[in-house]
Structure 1
Amino acid sequence: MSVKGFKFAAVEAAVKKPGRLDFGLIFSEAPAVAAGVFTTNKVKAAPVLLGMERIQEGVCQAIVVNSGNANACTGTRGMDDARETSRLVAEGLCISDDIVQVASTGVIGQALPMERLRKAVPKLIEGLAGGTFEDISCAIMTTDTFPKMEVRHGEASGVPYTIAGVAKGAGMIMPNMATMLAFIVTDAAVERSWLKKVFSEANDASFNIISVDGDTSTNDTALILANGMAGNPAIGEESKDADIFRANLQEVLLSLAQQIVKDGEGATKFVRIIVKGASSVADAKTAAMAIANSSLVKTAFFGQDANWGRILAAVGYSGAQVDADRVALFFDDVQMVQNGFFAGGTAEELGSRVLKKKEFTVTVDLKLGQGKATVYTSDLSYDYVKINADYRT
């Protein structure tokens, strides 16, 4: 996967333990227009605080990231370590320190092993000569079982460009945002103010409509860099190519978000939750997220139990406007509930067949208005408990 003007590298720094890539670098040959979205958790990791400060200028030339250690809840030392990591990379690249973004993911509450990172920085910079974007996708994994990547190609004023992205995330996944890192690079030229707007919109339509376990992390970071090296006239709100760029960007982010759900810790099901007929879009999303986050619903999915009652209960306590006597519910195209009551007949048998599939859709029609929302979730399995019980060991 090649994007003009971008270089990549990843090395083993043994941040948590040896034997894998865990320290990565994304470098743009020219300063890039940049935008970012960060966790809404009030407990924010050091790299998030530093990133939120630096992204205000809207320029970035390098991203340095480690997995295995979140550098969260580490106080003054954590901020010092984040800044030192940035400074070491900036010096090695001969660029300004304030256009380097730092990201971390992993165990909370432990100081970064700076001695090992210091030794690894020169190797990381040397690796830019032959590294790949795929290396970055591997280096940012924690409990992920597979690397997550996506790419789209487009044209602006007849000039071809590429949008590529990598992400990590498997547990502590909940919108606004999730325990995830996502790095998007494009060689398209994009106006700074519009990039910020369109990236925020794309996040709302992707990373903010997923849930694995309802937990929001301390480290969530999504960054986009547009270095303009494709050579097109800068794309902005009024550009004739704006809609195509927006669509390509949203497709990249949505694919990455769906991959995160499919890789949810211990997940065996990928479930699309659609709520329609709500009194508003906000109500539809509220109800859909209540279903997606319900442990009882998610364990029923894992057990392949067509327990529609748990879904109606989640809708009922969600806070959305509901008239129980109007509600309809479907598993794929099998109607389980009509006017708030069990549909009867063979619905139980047919519904159970749907839940045996690896991917299926749950649709709730509230029949109150035009509001509609879609979210994506997974089931909750035995392995989720095992993975998180042993996470620090």
Structure 2
Amino acid sequence: MKNALGILVALSRFLFLIIILVSAFLYAMFQGGKVSWTVFYMILPFILYSGALFFYPLSSIAAERIIRTPIVKYGGRLAVSISINRRFRFPLLYMVATDKFADPGTAELTDGKQKHLFIFGMKNKVEWDYEIEQMPRGEHILEGVEIELSDFFGWIRKKHFIPLKQIVLVYPKISDVNYIPMDTQYDRGTMASPLNLVKDTTMATGIRDYQSGDRVSWIHWKSFARTQTLMTKEFEDRRSQELIVVLDSRPSEVFEEQVELAASIVMEASAHQAGLGFVTTGNERLLTPFIQSDGQLQHALIHLAKLKPSGDSTTGMSSHQASELKHGGSIILITANPNWAFIQSILENAGNVRSFTCLTVLKENGEKNGHLLEDIRIAKLHGVTVRTLTQKQFPEAFKEVTHL
């Protein structure tokens, strides 16, 4: 329907052009005299140019986009370069090119920089750059480049959309978090310790089949040379750390801060080689029972980049997530609403929990209202460690976290 309307508009403009030409010619014929023919011959070049522009094939114009900042973090800068090329030389008065975003809200951030006016002339190629400051977290889709041509008087206007889909992921902001393992299992018993050594890699006790996510340094190369089958060394578990980070995806005023804290903890715990699991609740659930490789860590960060608040304000942990987390461990819940019903749904599903800590994120200079204080009190009565913190306190998120 839209294409048919565009064709109809274009034909009406061309018909208007024919009417102007015929009217000018008839005026000169019947009026006669030097002035009448002068008017006709003065307007004739403009009409001929407009007619030629009408038949000019816009399909011969191509565009190329280069994202000069392939990795963008929340609040960072996106830099884009666009070039427009054409195969046929034809004098173009001007061209307006617009880089189209799928989300109109993202286009507003450009402050009109994604649109550019070219005096094309006879050139075959033109280029322009633009930047967007303070990019919001999320998946931003660039659909293509729209070009618009016009003649001198606007009699003929032509538009053409060049599909050029690209996706820009803006990752969540990462804060420096002073990570301290909450639990450390020795060969016997459990105790709190600031140390974290997942495996004693100096003492191999056997080999097993290679599994996706195993570190390259753990591969038993001698066995591979004999059997051409990848095998992984097994080490003595002197100390291990099992930490499950749960991000509450319910809508809140500090949802971006919650995502930032979750990403920061996952990055820091992974760097300390913790036995790390990551879960998000809500409509766009993610379950990663063990983050053991850079690929799994990247997958978690991509999910956090795309994550949006869930429309369901009561959504907890799914049954599938619960079945994968029955092995237990220390759980850190990142939320802005620590109501007991939500916490209880996680505790009932996770099972075999050694410790449960609720990090409640507040707005900067935000006060704890009576409802929040009551939720915290009830959670503490059930043995849950609750700590409230603002964005500035993220580096010390583990400072006051204690083992239950």
In the superposition, the TM-score normalised over structure 1's length comes to 0.22
Kindly indicate whether structure 1 or structure 2 has the higher relative contact order, using CA contacts under 8 Å at least 6 residues apart: 1
